[in-house]
A and B are shown apart, each in its own frame.
Chain A
Amino acid sequence: MQHTLNITTRNEASVVERLLQVTRYRGYQLAGLAMTPLTDRAGLQITLTVQSEKPITLLTSQLVKLYDVQQLELASADVAVLRA
């Protein structure tokens, strides 16, 4: 099953690596990645698409723990804000 996550992060050099490391380690396959600096360049807007048969909450609960992640939304039919 495919899921798309809209993630707002600090604009830190290692932030994409961190997201991808957690995604790989927790067993989710990367299906898409896009990144745009926010207008003030202090943050990044990252769209991460992953594929897995596992519940997506097992990934989102790990990603929201990352220090650099400020907000994470699941962009599926039933959009849920997991952390404001």
Chain B
Amino acid sequence: MKGAELVLKVLQQQGVDTIFGYPGGAIMPIYDAIYHSTVKHYLCRHEQGGAFSAIGYARASGKVGVCLATSGPGATNLITSLADALLDSVPLVAITGQVSQAVMGTDAFQEVDVLGLSLGVTKHSFMVRDVNELAHTLQEAFRLAESGRPGPVLVDIPKDIQLAEVSEPEWPTLPTARLATSLANAAKARQLIAQAKKPIAYIGGGVQMADALPQLQAFLAESEMPSVTTLKGMGSVARANPHYLGMLGMHGTQAANLAVQQADLLICLGARFDDRVTGKLDKFAPHAKVIHVDIDPAEINKVRFADCALLGDMKQILPAISTATQCADWLAHCQQLKQQYGWRYDHPGERIFAPLMLKQLSERMPDNSVVCCDVGQHQMWVAQHMRFNSPRNHLSSGGLGTMGFGLPAAIGAKLARPQDTVIAVSGDGSFMMNVQELGTIKRFRLPVKIVIIDNQRLGMVKQWQQLFFNERYSETDLSDNPDFVALAAAFAIPGHTITRKDEVASALEAMFSWPGPYLLHVRIDEKDNVWPLVPPGAANEDMLTETN
């Protein structure tokens, strides 16, 4: 067989049945092999869209996402998506075609040094120079992508390797990477928890990625304490848990931020003290000792000193550090904060108030729906006002904050979980960044629901211009947006525009009762901002709210 056919064989051997990509000259042999393969390829309309679909597929399913691109511009179009996967620890294998080895290094047509470009945006990248190493390299790429802290791995395959004859190798089972877990500090952690008067759990995406949600619920039940989550950790804490305070950080809830600032023990579970979480670092949780549990040793003491660190498998560590707490007063205090600073949805006038609309969407959507966001104000409103029962149901570009993520991620999520409702919530700015993927939705008749929250502005940038740049609204006016419903209609997707609060309920009903893809265009007031907000350089207790 040819190397290209072997690529497909390895994908099948790895259990891959869904891939995303876009063909081109240097990857044509692989696309020729796809023609007869049982692996289903989804043609996207841009390589970035294909890679985001693979990320959405991976995040919604827990499997490795796979995307393909040709050399040169195809490969460079993957870079943003690879960076997104790296910063959000998403298992992704990207396969790129490369020009033949005979012309590599000659500035050949569509030649670019993708291996060099990938260094800063992948967990690792391979260049295959010998067809006899092709199968092993691809296997290793999969193993690496999902082992330890997951991440993106790129495999660059020159065209002559794809065309070279190779015999089908035996399929040695690669040793599963053993996760070294050290419980040496478990007793110290239990002691810190037992002694704490004001403990709080700070939960990141790592808990779900370790498949440790049941262990987390058990830990929070035995070590009864308040909890907060990061953007990627949302959905980790069971809805029934009364002590969950919401998301912390720049646009977190006041209760979450104030509780963390007052805590005497912070138990960081699969999170990394991101600057959007901590605000001014030396004022973050200033009274708290820190227990840090993570799979990646490089995260320990990277940003915040850990008084006690535990490395390895969260599933083993959480039961080992569970212990009873004595903090009834603290629980009552946090409950009081939660009630005092609960969300308010009273909003004057007839115009649609996005937080209320998203709350209605959250209440109306079927259980286990997947919501894919873009980046900006709407993303923060989703995080604040929608509820999720798993982080796999809330796909949001966290670390990289990539506009254009939502629509293609929703395509991947829908293909990963066809039985579940998938909703792409986007802003008018973000939506246009990968709008070409409407073509993918049309081609494969994917019943993805699209909600565009349109304030005719780059809302988050405009909000910062208003607050921190003396209202100099430089290049944030999008009032010449296209007619989004007409745009959707060009892709045979029905849609509807709403502008008033009293239209929301029936519009949601119409969207969910329509069997196919649907676009709901929601016009909101450009003056609406995201509150609260921790200004840049401020401590998390110094939140700006609408009233101050």
Question: Is residue A14 within 8 Å, beta carbon to beta carbon, of the partner chain?
Answer: yes
Q: How far is the CA of A58 from the CA of B116 in the complex (A)?
A: 23
- Residues facing B in A3-41 (CB within 8 A) are 13-14, 17-18, 21, 25
- Which chain B residues border A57 with CB–CB below 8 Å? 301
Q: How far, in Å, is B161 (CB) from chain A's closest CB?
A: 15
Q: How far is the CA of A2 from the CA of B123 in the complex (A)?
A: 27
- Give which listed residue, B119, B296, B297, contacts A17 with CB less than 8 A: B119
Cβ contacts B127-138/A at 8 Å (1 or 0 each) = 100000000000
Q: How far, in Å, is B75 (CB) from chain A's closest CB?
A: 15
Q: How far, in Å, is B139 (CB) from chain A's closest CB?
A: 14
Question: Is residue A52 within 8 Å, beta carbon to beta carbon, of the partner chain?
Answer: no
Q: How far, in Å, is B153 (CB) from chain A's closest CB?
A: 9
Q: How far is the CA of A64 from the CA of B301 in the complex (A)?
A: 16
Q: How far is the CA of A55 from the CA of B298 in the complex (A)?
A: 13
Q: How far, in Å, is A55 (CB) from chain B's closest CB?
A: 8
Q: Do B302 and A58 touch (CB < 8 A)?
A: yes
- Give which listed residue, B116, B119, B125, B298, contacts A61 with CB less than 8 A: B298
- Which chain B residues border A62 with CB–CB below 8 Å? 298
- Give which listed residue, A13, A17, A67, contacts B144 with CB less than 8 A: A67
Q: Do B119 and A21 touch (CB < 8 A)?
A: yes
Q: How far is the CA of A58 from the CA of B299 in the complex (A)?
A: 9
Q: Do B116 and A17 touch (CB < 8 A)?
A: yes
Q: How far, in Å, is B26 (CB) from chain A's closest CB?
A: 19
- Which chain B residues border A25 with CB–CB below 8 Å? 120
Closest A residue to B129 by CB, please name it. A13
Q: How far, in Å, is B447 (CB) from chain A's closest CB?
A: 40
Q: How far is the CA of A17 from the CA of B127 in the complex (A)?
A: 14
Question: Is residue B115 within 8 Å, beta carbon to beta carbon, of the partner chain?
Answer: yes
- Residues facing A in B290-305 (CB within 8 A) are 296-298, 300-302
Number of contacting residues on A, CB 8 A?
16
Q: Do A13 and B127 touch (CB < 8 A)?
A: yes
Q: Do A65 and B119 touch (CB < 8 A)?
A: no
Q: How far is the CA of A58 from the CA of B302 in the complex (A)?
A: 6
- Which chain A residues border B124 with CB–CB below 8 Å? 66-68
Q: Do B115 and A61 touch (CB < 8 A)?
A: no
Closest B residue to A13 by CB, please name it. B127
Question: In the complex where A25-B120, A67-B144 touch, is A14 in contact with B115 (Cβ < 8 A)?
Answer: yes
Q: Do A65 and B115 touch (CB < 8 A)?
A: no
- Which chain B residues border A65 with CB–CB below 8 Å? 296, 298
- Which chain B residues border A67 with CB–CB below 8 Å? 123-124, 144
Q: How far, in Å, is A83 (CB) from chain B's closest CB?
A: 10
Q: How far, in Å, is A68 (CB) from chain B's closest CB?
A: 8
- Give which listed residue, A21, A55, A64, contacts B120 with CB less than 8 A: A21
Q: How far, in Å, is A30 (CB) from chain B's closest CB?
A: 16
Question: In this complex, which of B119, B125, B144, B301 has the most chain A Cβ atoms within 10 angstroms of its Cβ?
Answer: B119
Closest B residue to A61 by CB, please name it. B298
Q: Do A14 and B119 touch (CB < 8 A)?
A: yes
Question: In the complex where A13-B127, A67-B124, A67-B144 touch, is A18 in contact with B302 (Cβ < 8 A)?
Answer: no
Q: Do A61 and B120 touch (CB < 8 A)?
A: no
Q: How far, in Å, is B119 (CB) from chain A's closest CB?
A: 5
Q: How far is the CA of A14 from the CA of B119 in the complex (A)?
A: 9
Question: In this complex, which of A21, A57, A64, A65 has the most chain B Cβ atoms within 10 angstroms of its Cβ?
Answer: A65
Closest B residue to A59 by CB, please name it. B298
Q: How far is the CA of A21 from the CA of B116 in the complex (A)?
A: 10
- Which chain B residues border A58 with CB–CB below 8 Å? 301-302
Closest A residue to B297 by CB, please name it. A61
Cβ contacts A40-84/B at 8 Å (1 or 0 each) = 000000000000000101100110111110000000000000000
Q: How far, in Å, is B126 (CB) from chain A's closest CB?
A: 9
- Which chain A residues border B296 with CB–CB below 8 Å? 65
Cβ contacts B436-464/A at 8 Å (1 or 0 each) = 00000000000000000000000000000
Q: How far is the CA of A84 from the CA of B325 in the complex (A)?
A: 39
Q: How far is the CA of A21 from the CA of B297 in the complex (A)?
A: 20
Q: How far is the CA of A1 from the CA of B144 in the complex (A)?
A: 34
Q: How far, in Å, is B175 (CB) from chain A's closest CB?
A: 15
Closest A residue to B153 by CB, please name it. A67
- Which chain A residues border B115 with CB–CB below 8 Å? 14
Q: Do A61 and B127 touch (CB < 8 A)?
A: no
- Which chain B residues border A64 with CB–CB below 8 Å? 297
Q: Do A61 and B302 touch (CB < 8 A)?
A: yes
Closest A residue to B119 by CB, please name it. A21
- Which chain A residues border B119 with CB–CB below 8 Å? 14, 17-18, 21
Q: How far, in Å, is A66 (CB) from chain B's closest CB?
A: 8
Q: How far is the CA of A77 from the CA of B144 in the complex (A)?
A: 35
- Which chain A residues border B301 with CB–CB below 8 Å? 55, 57-58
Q: How far, in Å, is A59 (CB) from chain B's closest CB?
A: 10
Cβ contacts B108-126/A at 8 Å (1 or 0 each) = 0000000110011001110
Q: How far, in Å, is B109 (CB) from chain A's closest CB?
A: 23
State the B residues within 8 Å of A (CB): 115-116, 119-120, 123-125, 127, 144, 296-298, 300-302
Given A17-B116, A57-B301, 10 more A-B residue pairs with CB atoms under 8 Å apart are A13-B127, A14-B125, A18-B119, A21-B120, A61-B298, A61-B302, A65-B296, A66-B124, A67-B124, A68-B124
Q: State the 6 A-B residue pairs at the shortest beta-carbon distance, nearest first.
A: A61-B298, A67-B124, A21-B119, A62-B298, A61-B297, A21-B120
Sample (10) of A-B pairs whose CB atoms are under 8 Å apart:
A14-B115, A14-B119, A14-B127, A25-B120, A58-B301, A61-B300, A62-B298, A64-B297, A65-B296, A65-B298
